[in-house]
Structure 1
């Protein structure tokens, strides 16, 4: 068999693993980490959670936010305070609420007068609409204002209930739910990673090296992103910041697992640990680089999204993965060779010792698949296809406010009280901007639109007029969204009005449309990019097409099973409109990693012993490490469920389930069976496809078959 000589190992593999330069690598990252620590801690301070940072840039709702500054601050949002007495309001109730309005107006964030008290027609409730200016701090400052409103409202007659709802109330509850998100996710992800690494390595100390490396990558990535966000080069919000933590820890630890596994394998073949690491980097480096490049390319595809929140996530995640990739290919190997073989204690891979993966559980699984590979991949594909049918249970049209959180926060209770006593759209009107000369005609048109409960008088400034229309349906309902569509059609028909409609309900409508457009645009683009990377990596066409097909099938099964879990087990009312795209991006970009890890090893072995035997050797050699990597990634995404936000929980559950399917079913069973059935045709049209038949016929029994028959196993190609 062909042997790789030390002279064939490139400088990139030798640099972090040599006796002298390993110290330079460690010192370099210590300096970088020290410089990054401060800026990384400031990232939360530059998050942009304003509505414009999430909305489609060209949507009418976005244009309204930009143009409304002539009438009010773009950061002004209504807090709806609703009081209720089931037996009917008393004179003392009305007097107490009236007195509180003056105190609301005295608060620093309240720049304009409150509206109210407004009694309900049934005499059982009162509402006050307080305009709160969040200022440059955005929604994070609204929580403190809501606390002040609640404190003032505590001074009221016994038996009179009170809740703060409306946009400010929901924003405050959301802010509380996301409070400390980075810390929660970091510690949860670290716990999951440490537990899995302890079980994988069965060493009390080895887990420290990957965790320290992943932590370094996270802090450095956060620092880089902080500087870009500070200069407005990059828009970062709470969503992308939270996902950054998960993806850096998950993907980074995956790369660490693959490299450590190959290093341990080479330690049994090389007496010098520095030489062993150089060979490990030489052999595993291309697969790790290809995997990282796939994730980075997939994330950068999000730049073509129309949703600003989706577009911003792309470069944030790409930077995180790029930094993680660099750390795992330089700092991690340097730390491992600095520590020496003792880091694997109590099971040190000594020179010349036997590698039991060649005849372990994955070798036996491969042998069983080899008995009937075609039947195996056909049955597996059918089962995954059946699981995909659950997608029809997915209601990804956005979550109403009442369904967005675990439990029932105060803002949801307040919305329910409002719906009992007032028009459902009260406190969250549709905002219509029009030319002043046509304001009267637009107002008349609005009054005739189905679903509009009432229309306010126009307020005119600088040639433009603002008209507020209250809807008869809840502002976050599908019925209200349809009413906004009717409003836009109606006002577009007023000659010379140049009218646009915005507000919370309009934002929901624009978000749903933009998400649907992004799905159609981005999903095919990601598939094309990943396919191109696989073609370049494997120098073939058949294998990349098959691998893409398996990942798409895995995505469908994961989303289908998740949909059933959401509806029938967890009782979620629906899903966020961005869920299918996010799950697809993470599963295709990250899930393809496991196919890359496996197929690069199969490709390496196929050159020496043929595809059939190479498939079994590849599965035996990578089965354990890929399973561990899948558990790490699934576990880190599952920690998103620790947040009391349904949309995050759904992303975490769906991605975690998809990663487990990729790891345990698609890669180990489906892809292996396809390799065994297709044999050399997997590498068409490369020269390897033509050599495969001769290689397959010339070699002795495969490792899996040897394990079944009790004969000596064939050593994998070196």
Structure 2
């Protein structure tokens, strides 16, 4: 392995190798960007989140087949006037219907004939307070967000021409006519715009934050730019590859995945660069030859960097096992991005350092004592005496070695206390609540909820095959205490025995309470079918709609947690065993990051709920955070433990721990601050799911950086002593020293 690393080091840092390496990256990035599409051009924010095996998806297929008029993506035009809608307002609705019936909008598939209704009939559809009217326009399911956005712009322009002002731009408190586009189509367009805006803000914020932190840490403008250039090239290669895969239909990507991938690249990518840069800086103080110093740095850091990257890649790839589409769409972009970034940090960054040499650290250039002496003599000044300042890492190491049990007890109590809040976290599966309250489509839903029955926001579609036996599906559903209204049954097109009833619940259909009623709806309809003599009633009931989809989403998330979490832990355990060859170390390293995750979830809930006023956390957040925190947390453990393991071959274990903690303390603290900072940038976005993920992950990284890595892990290693290496062994440095003396 040593010869292999030496050969690799010469290859990427040699007189020719460094230029060849840089040229290869430039050519590959340029060629891929020119030939393959950018990943942002292949984003699909309407991709299905549930597989075909789930009941709500099967119900949607039945609805498309039997009730094709309901097929498509509806846009709900919400009309509202605080003083009550006037006849002139309703006439605008009729004129629009007449115009779009005569000349439909692109991808328009259905529009009720409001222009053929007399005003009294149209008034009958007003809300009870006469302030609100909802008129749907259905578009093809093939229509993308860009096409829908153009259609909405056309509607807005025509309404402005008819009214003389812009109802879509009016504030909700306005006494004027107010219009909003809501429903699935409106949400899709608003979400796409929100993510696009967030992507730009996120990229700018992340780059500036990383740049400022690197300048503060190294006080070198050149060194601050090197990791950013490395990340830039990694993104330039990753983006086209993902775009090509998405274009071919091999994967699906959405805006949320690309946003988080950007943060991950800058955070984790900069960390890998820092691991190498810190080792190079250290070697430059003992090696006068910059090439020799870089080779030693590569030899010392590449194993830990490769192992850390491989751990994250495999952990993120485990998300391919998820049923929930959002999670599954994370797997390939994240794991590929980390893989390419790890390669860049082991090839592109060393080549850059080889080209720049000691100048990389300008103006604080590291030199050997001999070089410092020669420089002083040349200038005719006294040789500066080396300072022996105790670093923060030195103080951490001294405390851990001196009082390991006290450190273990205190850190476990702190982490355990924070983790005790995790069971109290409340979860929501309402996507709409993740968006800003002033988002137009959400304001439209607010108006509907205030003026109509809460269940009218998103009726539950209940379908049943009665086999022509006359089961009273509508009556059964309307008698339920949690149902506000049940529509008259519609007969299926292909199978007239299948009837559909739209059910309006008496609670918000997006709340968890509404989701809990889905099993009750199914049970009651199945009982009605059995009572009428229908056989196999359990296979003849289908429930669709947003509430049913959220119910299935919750179950998909629960299933994913039960599967993915053990797989991630198992993969990391195998990698740690292969790298450290110690069962004991593997167990306590995994145990510490799992404890840290629980603490991050508990502290995150305290911040989000008690300080930021969030009522609930997005249901997918625990699995998001677990995969990231456990994988990234092990990165820091691997980097520090690998240093301790190497030193333990040459010195007593306690001294190896002291030096390992001291030497890695600075770089891991710097890396942790940068990684936590990049995730914290997500907390500045107006999208709640990203904000919540950013807060919890940033807290977890900080816990790993300032509690788990400098205190808990080395304290456990100190207490366990040589047993930490079991079933491997470690040479006793004290015996070797005494034998030599």
TM-score by shorter chain over 0.5 = yes
Which deviates the most, 691-700 or 461-470?
691-700
Can you give the 5+ residue segments of structure 2 that lack an aligned partner in the other structure? 115-121, 165-174, 373-385
SS in 1 for 2:492: strand
Instruction: State the match for 1:603 in structure 2.
Output: 645
Given that residues 40 and 220 in structure 1 are in contact (C-alpha distance below 8 angstroms), is that contact kept between their aligned partners in structure 2?
Answer: no
Go from structure 1 to structure 2 and tell me whether the alpha carbon gap of 1:75 and 1:274 turns closer, same or farther (over 3 Å shift): farther
> C-alpha displacement at 1:534, in angstroms?
1.1
Go from structure 1 to structure 2 and tell me whether the alpha carbon gap of 1:203 and 1:128 turns closer, same or farther (over 3 Å shift): same
Which deviates the most, 389-398 or 102-111?
102-111
Instruction: State the match for 1:122 in structure 2.
Output: 128
> C-alpha displacement at 1:291, in angstroms?
0.4
Instruction: State the match for 1:421 in structure 2.
Output: 451
Q: Does residue 1:405 correspond to 2:439, yes or no? A: no
Instruction: State the match for 1:475 in structure 2.
Output: 509
Aligned equivalent of 1:107, options 76, 100, 105: 105
How many angstroms apart in 2 are the aligned matches of 1:649 and 1:128?
Answer: 32
> C-alpha displacement at 1:51, in angstroms?
4.6
SS in 1 for 2:79: strand
Given that residues 629 and 700 in structure 2 are in contact (C-alpha distance below 8 angstroms), is that contact kept between their aligned partners in structure 1?
Answer: yes
TM-score, normalised via structure 1 length: 0.90
How many angstroms apart in 1 are the aligned matches of 2:684 and 2:740?
Answer: 52
Aligned equivalent of 1:46, options 42, 49, 74: 42
RMSD, aligned CA: 2.8
SS in 1 for 2:517: helix
Matches within 5 A, 1:192-591: 192-352=209-369, 359-399=390-430, 401=432, 403-426=433-456, 428-435=458-465, 437=467, 441=471, 442-443=473-474, 445-452=476-483, 453-463=485-495, 465=498, 467-472=500-505, 473-493=507-527, 494=529, 495=534, 498-591=540-633
Aligned equivalent of 2:672, options 605, 612, 630: 630
Given that residues 220 and 363 in structure 2 are in contact (C-alpha distance below 8 angstroms), is that contact kept between their aligned partners in structure 1?
Answer: yes
SS in 2 for 1:80: strand
Given that residues 37 and 244 in structure 2 are in contact (C-alpha distance below 8 angstroms), is that contact kept between their aligned partners in structure 1?
Answer: no
Given that residues 302 and 311 in structure 1 are in contact (C-alpha distance below 8 angstroms), is that contact kept between their aligned partners in structure 2?
Answer: yes
TM-score, normalised via structure 2 length: 0.87
How many angstroms apart in 2 are the aligned matches of 1:298 and 1:12?
Answer: 27
> C-alpha displacement at 1:24, in angstroms?
1.3
SS in 2 for 1:543: helix
Go from structure 1 to structure 2 and tell me whether the alpha carbon gap of 1:40 and 1:436 turns closer, same or farther (over 3 Å shift): farther
Given that residues 89 and 123 in structure 1 are in contact (C-alpha distance below 8 angstroms), is that contact kept between their aligned partners in structure 2?
Answer: no
How many angstroms apart in 1 are the aligned matches of 2:685 and 2:337?
Answer: 21
> C-alpha displacement at 1:567, in angstroms?
0.8
Given that residues 104 and 152 in structure 1 are in contact (C-alpha distance below 8 angstroms), is that contact kept between their aligned partners in structure 2?
Answer: no
SS in 2 for 1:132: strand
Which deviates the most, 496-505 or 578-587?
496-505
Task: Give a deviation string over 1:25-48, Cα, whole Å, max 9, x none.
Answer: 111111001012246763122222
How many angstroms apart in 1 are the aligned matches of 2:132 and 2:303?
Answer: 67
How many angstroms apart in 1 are the aligned matches of 2:73 and 2:740?
Answer: 73
Given that residues 357 and 621 in structure 1 are in contact (C-alpha distance below 8 angstroms), is that contact kept between their aligned partners in structure 2?
Answer: no
How many angstroms apart in 2 are the aligned matches of 1:43 and 1:561?
Answer: 35
> C-alpha displacement at 1:630, in angstroms?
0.6
How many angstroms apart in 2 are the aligned matches of 1:145 and 1:439?
Answer: 45
Instruction: State the match for 2:118 in structure 1.
Output: none
Given that residues 21 and 348 in structure 2 are in contact (C-alpha distance below 8 angstroms), is that contact kept between their aligned partners in structure 1?
Answer: yes
Instruction: State the match for 2:170 in structure 1.
Output: none
Can you give the 5+ residue segments of structure 1 that lack an aligned partner in the other structure? 701-718
Which deviates the most, 466-475 or 645-654?
466-475
How many angstroms apart in 1 are the aligned matches of 2:600 and 2:209?
Answer: 21
Given that residues 291 and 596 in structure 1 are in contact (C-alpha distance below 8 angstroms), is that contact kept between their aligned partners in structure 2?
Answer: yes
> C-alpha displacement at 1:683, in angstroms?
0.9
Given that residues 424 and 475 in structure 1 are in contact (C-alpha distance below 8 angstroms), is that contact kept between their aligned partners in structure 2?
Answer: yes
How many angstroms apart in 2 are the aligned matches of 1:356 and 1:17?
Answer: 32
How many angstroms apart in 2 are the aligned matches of 1:215 and 1:284?
Answer: 22
Given that residues 308 and 634 in structure 2 are in contact (C-alpha distance below 8 angstroms), is that contact kept between their aligned partners in structure 1?
Answer: yes
Aligned equivalent of 1:691, options 695, 712, 732: 732
Go from structure 1 to structure 2 and tell me whether the alpha carbon gap of 1:586 and 1:557 turns closer, same or farther (over 3 Å shift): same
Task: Give a deviation string over 1:410-469, Cα, whole Å, max 9, x none.
Answer: 323322222232222225222345558459635554444443312244252233757251
Given that residues 359 and 365 in structure 2 are in contact (C-alpha distance below 8 angstroms), is that contact kept between their aligned partners in structure 1?
Answer: yes
Go from structure 1 to structure 2 and tell me whether the alpha carbon gap of 1:72 and 1:48 turns closer, same or farther (over 3 Å shift): farther
Task: Give a deviation string over 1:187-239, Cα, whole Å, max 9, x none.
Answer: 22211111111111111111221111111111211111111111111121122
Count of residue pairs the alignment pairs up: 693
How many angstroms apart in 2 are the aligned matches of 1:550 and 1:517?
Answer: 25
Given that residues 651 and 732 in structure 2 are in contact (C-alpha distance below 8 angstroms), is that contact kept between their aligned partners in structure 1?
Answer: no
Go from structure 1 to structure 2 and tell me whether the alpha carbon gap of 1:65 and 1:24 turns closer, same or farther (over 3 Å shift): farther
How many angstroms apart in 2 are the aligned matches of 1:522 and 1:277?
Answer: 39
Which deviates the most, 432-441 or 404-413?
432-441
Given that residues 357 and 363 in structure 1 are in contact (C-alpha distance below 8 angstroms), is that contact kept between their aligned partners in structure 2?
Answer: no
> C-alpha displacement at 1:73, in angstroms?
8.7
How many angstroms apart in 1 are the aligned matches of 2:421 and 2:323?
Answer: 28
Aligned equivalent of 1:95, options 91, 96, 105: 91
Which deviates the most, 601-610 or 450-459?
450-459
Which deviates the most, 207-216 or 17-26?
17-26
Given that residues 610 and 696 in structure 1 are in contact (C-alpha distance below 8 angstroms), is that contact kept between their aligned partners in structure 2?
Answer: no
Q: Does residue 1:172 correspond to 2:202, yes or no? A: no
> C-alpha displacement at 1:121, in angstroms?
5.4
Go from structure 1 to structure 2 and tell me whether the alpha carbon gap of 1:574 and 1:20 turns closer, same or farther (over 3 Å shift): same
Aligned equivalent of 1:28, options 24, 27, 48: 24
Which deviates the most, 9-18 or 522-531?
9-18
Aligned equivalent of 1:142, options 141, 145, 148: 148
> C-alpha displacement at 1:530, in angstroms?
1.0
SS in 2 for 1:98: helix
Aligned equivalent of 1:160, options 174, 177, 183: 177
How many angstroms apart in 2 are the aligned matches of 1:297 and 1:80?
Answer: 43
Instruction: State the match for 2:137 in structure 1.
Output: 131
Given that residues 419 and 599 in structure 2 are in contact (C-alpha distance below 8 angstroms), is that contact kept between their aligned partners in structure 1?
Answer: yes
